[in-house]
Amino acid sequence: DTPQTDARPLAFPPGFVWGAATAAYQIEGAARDDGRGPSIWDTFSRVPGKVAGGDTGDVACDHYHRFRDDIGLMAGLGLPAYRFSVAWPRVQPDGSGPVNPRGIGFYDRLVDEVLQAGITPYATLYHWDLPQALEDRGGWTARDTALRFADYTGIVHDRLADRVDTWTTVNEPWVAAYLGYAAGVHAPGRTSAADAFRAAHHLLVAHGLATRRLRDGGARRVSLTLNLAPIVAGGTSEQDAAAADLVDAMLNRQFLDPVLHGAYAEPVLAVAARHGGLDHVRGDDLTVIAEPIDSLGINYYNPTYVAAAPGTPPNPAYPGCAGIAFPPAVPPLTAMGWPIVPDGLGDLLVRLSRDYPGVPLVVTENGAAFDDVPDADGRVRDDARIRYLDGHLRAAHAALTAGADLRGYLVWSLLDNFEWAEGYGKRFGIVYVDYADGRRLPKDSARWFRDVIARNGLGGEPA
């Protein structure tokens, strides 16, 4: 009764890194414990109508109290790597100033436990939980937030550098800036194009300053994680191609070009110039942003489909981009309503290796939400997730064969968790979480992934 996947056995290169990813606000809970300060997600999730079901991260998976069990679970699945994020408001409750020893102490114990289990920790410094005190002073629209982030980075690095080799500065600056400051569907819930352009730039400056701080402290590996997607035009007209190119500039090149080529793409500058101007882009910002990185993290879920549609007002997440339609997704879809297109990952990896050669790539998130329900014996038969992961790994393998420099693959996510604006209703985990009692049930996909890792590839039998 195993799900049918494309049955060809595929071996990944020796040393390929396998693992699972999480983020602090989505799993930790303990929102008021041990001196943690409020973050923008604590505030935003309390605004009526912003998060499905009125859910908040107050308790989440209670990982803050259950981290030892969760790491035991990972060890049982044979996960070689674990990507987690550090909550800035635990470390510095006000986003600046004194360090909260109990807050950073949690990550100290977490890292010890991860290493004890034989797992390599990958630490992300910012996964969207900005201290509310900094938002009150402008949030990411303020350059000062980037400077504060560099200080915070130094604090965390000084404490964990002896045990953590691989650091990611910022997770998905596009989502943080455009869903948070333009579309208003993520914290802090603002709806200003100018704010979003400023936020995006300051998130990149934050990345660059933090990278410098990590280097100065002797960090061995520094990376940045971007949400990237192939942009697919619905038609073949020149207008369709132009629409796809503009969306590609906004979603992908806005971040790839400054970090890896040292300059913003022309269309990004043009759109930003029309929305509040470019005063926030200062002297040597591009030099800071282009500080070399050791790998690029890629979060891939699905392609973005566009079509030229004269007269269409801009999509709220793409301010300044009028005349572009985002047609409804075509099945098969995940529970998020996101299309399942494994080849999009392969195309993306090949394109990145072609357009941005020289930087090793790691898939830092890939996965899917489905309507998982445990049966009477507590088994979760998530065949659809196995097929999703199998298909994406086959596409990643094909990209490797085509020359993409892919070094690892981390599944999103270890646990079902707080899926931001969707709350707890959307389950991305390879481990099911019963929110009534906190119980964890590894899904069929967790056992399947364990076998993939054990053989460093996909088996010949139907997975």
Name the site residues for ligand PNW (rule: CB under 6 A): 23, 26, 171-172, 175, 227, 299, 365, 412, 419, 428
Q: How far is the CB of 162 from ligand PNW (least distance, A)?
A: 28
Report d(CA 269, CA 254) in Å as an integer. Answer: 9
Q: What is the dihedral of CA 337, 239, 357, 157, to 10 degrees?
A: -50
Query: Is 128 labelled as part of a ligand binding site?
Result: no
- Residue by residue, DSSP assigns 173-241 as HHIIIIIHHTS-SSTT----HHHHHHHHHHHHHHHHHHHHHHHHTT-SEEEEEEE---EEESS-SHHHH
Residues classed as catalytic: 172, 365
Pairing of strands 457-458, 10-11: antiparallel
Q: Write out the two tokens for 426.
A: 């959307």
The amino acid sitting at 211 is T
Report d(CA 46, CA 54) in Å as an integer. Answer: 7
Which DSSP state fits 20? E
Q: Is 415 helix (H, G, I), strand (E, B) or coil?
A: strand
Q: Is the CB of 111 or the CB of 410 nearer to ligand PNW?
A: 410
Q: Which helix (H) or strand (E) holds 153?
A: helix 143-160
Q: Are 27 and 11 in contact (CB under 8 A)?
A: no
Query: Is 26 labelled as part of a ligand binding site?
Result: yes
Q: What is the dihedral of CA 434, 439, 445, 447, to 10 degrees?
A: -170
Q: Is the CB of 140 or the CB of 428 nearer to ligand PNW?
A: 428
Query: Is 412 labelled as part of a ligand binding site?
Result: yes
Q: How far is the CB of 406 from ligand PNW (least distance, A)?
A: 19
Query: Is 135 labelled as part of a ligand binding site?
Result: no
Q: How far is the CB of 247 from ligand PNW (least distance, A)?
A: 12
Closest C-alpha to 123, from 133, 114, 136:
114
State the burial class of residue 449 (Cβ atoms within 10 Å of its Cβ: 0-12, 13-18, 19+).
buried
Q: How far is the CB of 306 from ligand PNW (least distance, A)?
A: 14
Q: Write out the two tokens for 120.
A: 């390599």
Query: Is 171 labelled as part of a ligand binding site?
Result: yes
Q: How far is the CB of 83 from ligand PNW (least distance, A)?
A: 10
Q: Are 293 and 223 in contact (CB under 8 A)?
A: yes
Q: Are 40 and 188 in contact (CB under 8 A)?
A: yes
Q: Is the CB of 228 or the CB of 380 nearer to ligand PNW?
A: 228
Report d(CA 168, CA 293) in Å as an integer. Answer: 10
Query: Is 448 labelled as part of a ligand binding site?
Result: no
Q: Is the CB of 179 or the CB of 395 nearer to ligand PNW?
A: 179
Buried-state track 274-287, b at ≥16 Cβ within 10 A, e below 16: ebbeeebbeeebbe
E-only strand ranges, 330-460: 361-365, 406-412, 431-433, 440-442, 457-458
Q: How far is the CB of 444 from ligand PNW (least distance, A)?
A: 20
Q: Is the CB of 100 or the CB of 168 nearer to ligand PNW?
A: 168
Q: Is the CB of 259 or the CB of 281 nearer to ligand PNW?
A: 259
Q: Is 369 helix (H, G, I), strand (E, B) or coil?
A: coil
Q: Is the CB of 195 or the CB of 365 nearer to ligand PNW?
A: 365
Beta-carbon contacts of residue 81 (< 8 Å; ≥ 6 apart): 17, 18, 19, 20, 119, 120, 121, 122, 408, 410
Query: Is 126 labelled as part of a ligand binding site?
Result: no
Q: Is the CB of 43 or the CB of 417 nearer to ligand PNW?
A: 417
Q: Are 43 and 132 in contact (CB under 8 A)?
A: yes
Positions at the binding site: 26, 127, 171, 301, 412, 419-420
Positions at the binding site for substrate: 26, 127, 171, 301, 412, 419-420
